[in-house]
Structure 1
């Protein structure tokens, strides 16, 4: 697994990066050799934040954790990735390494052994059909806010009618997803 570390507004000692590499490296057993882990460290007030993104082929797993201790935050991020992998085990088995879910237990894992989580089924509970209208990004954000949704699909008039989605971000801003075909 290849590692990319980014420190935002903080200078961390190399031991933090080494600790993160050791902990995230344990996820290597799930992924193929081309996997890449991007780890972004930041500090806001008294909170240590870690954003961990693991890419392997077309599979992307992203988690964000925040605690008062950077080492605990790294541990929480790795645990979150493992939880996502276990939760979606059946769907991911074809995309990940062949023996990704074969359990080998070492002494450290025995103390933190957790029971397997039940995989929940993806249930579509409602289907809506509506015409997707041409509009600018600003008009789409306005329309999204008017209907009090967290996302809105539209055809981007500024981009030749390409399909796009605007969405509200957790930080209060807005995001735009565009089709690149």
Structure 2
């Protein structure tokens, strides 16, 4: 498995690199089909955020699936351990769900901390931090790329990202939520052809938004 370690606003120390590489056997033990893992360490310079100054984002490419997890802490080693724990938990859930599908068992509701994304494969990122120049337009973004733009002189930063929405059922979209720790997932409903969003409400309750236009609705007599 290829291991790529990069830093944002910080330099990667050899000790951190050694710790990361030394613990990657936890990933391959659960997901032996893992082809590539990317670890991004980000330093937050705001002294008010000292307790979460180091953020670690981990992305694993396994076949056509992408699994992500992230965590923050006061130091990079603690942040990495937390992110790795979350990542391996999601990998186990995915592995167990695949086993249950093969056995024909009924699947329990989607657990906490869930959200997913499909990938065409472990393509190399355009640059280490998977972002592009902030002056770029949304039309210039490639799949998975993001851009951050500051609003005037305010501290507000808006992040824009291009997501390729795959046609799938609502059940499949909820399953995809198991791979990435967000609270929503964008997809195209294969039954209606509409752009849709599944999102977490509370407990085991979920919601679905479907997007349509007035013109499209009139064409279908709505």
TM bin (shorter chain): 0.5 to 0.7
Matching of residue 85 in structure 1 with residue 91 in structure 2: yes
1:96-111 to 2 correspondences below 5 Å: none
Query: Does 70-79 or 83-92 show the bigger shift?
Result: 83-92
Residue in structure 1 matched with residue 36 of structure 2 by the alignment:
36
Matching of residue 57 in structure 1 with residue 63 in structure 2: yes
Matching of residue 177 in structure 1 with residue 163 in structure 2: yes
Q: Secondary structure at the match of 1:88?
A: helix
- The C-alpha deviation readout for 1:36-84, integer Å capped at 9, x for no partner, is 1101111002310111001111121101111001111110011001221
Higher RCO (CA 8 Å, separation ≥ 6 residues):
2
Query: Does 84-93 or 45-54 show the bigger shift?
Result: 84-93
Residue in structure 2 matched with residue 121 of structure 1 by the alignment:
109
TM-superposed deviation, 1:93 = 4.1
Cα distance change of structure 1 residues 175 and 34 upon mapping to structure 2, 3 Å threshold = closer
Matching of residue 70 in structure 1 with residue 76 in structure 2: yes
Cα distance change of structure 1 residues 175 and 12 upon mapping to structure 2, 3 Å threshold = closer
Cα distance change of structure 1 residues 3 and 22 upon mapping to structure 2, 3 Å threshold = same
Superposition RMSD in Å:
3.2
TM-score, scaled relative to structure 2: 0.44
- Tell me, yes or no, if the aligned pair for 1:34 and 1:56 is still in contact at 8 Å: yes
- Tell me, yes or no, if the aligned pair for 1:5 and 1:40 is still in contact at 8 Å: yes
TM-superposed deviation, 1:22 = 1.2
TM-score, scaled relative to structure 1: 0.53
Cα distance change of structure 1 residues 176 and 13 upon mapping to structure 2, 3 Å threshold = closer
Cα distance change of structure 1 residues 9 and 172 upon mapping to structure 2, 3 Å threshold = same
Indicate the structure (1 or 2) with the bigger Cα radius of gyration: 1
Q: Secondary structure at the match of 2:41?
A: strand
Structure 1: runs of 5 or more not aligned: 95-118, 124-157, 159-168
- Tell me, yes or no, if the aligned pair for 2:31 and 2:95 is still in contact at 8 Å: no
Residue in structure 2 matched with residue 16 of structure 1 by the alignment:
16
TM-superposed deviation, 1:172 = 3.8
Structure 2: runs of 5 or more not aligned: 101-106, 112-138, 140-147, 149-156, 167-222
- Tell me, yes or no, if the aligned pair for 2:6 and 2:12 is still in contact at 8 Å: no
- The C-alpha deviation readout for 1:123-168, integer Å capped at 9, x for no partner, is 9xxxxxxxxxxxxxxxxxxxxxxxxxxxxxxxxxx8xxxxxxxxxx
